[in-house]
Amino acid sequence: MPHRTRPLTALLVFLGVNVALVSTITPVYDFVCFHPYWERRRESRCKEWEPANEKNADTG
């Protein structure tokens, strides 16, 4: 065998990487979901749909 297996070290490294990833999920999620781009997009889509909704209300 060219090297020794170190299961405890591998376990600690694995857990450390998982803790680092889990601790960064919330800030990344908040940044992506609450980015101002989505608010602007929602407003622009509402403005696009308003004329179509008014047409449908008049004909219905």
Nearest-angstrom CA–CA distance, 17 and 9 = 12
Kindly report, residue by residue over 1-57, the tens digit of the pLDDT: 566 788 899 999 999 999 999 999 998 899 888 888 988 988 998 888 877 767 666
12 compared with 60, residue with greater pLDDT:
12
Single pTM value for the model: 0.46
| Rounded alpha-carbon distances, angstroms, from residue 23 to 16, 43, 55, 58 | 11, 32, 49, 52
pLDDT of residue 42: 87
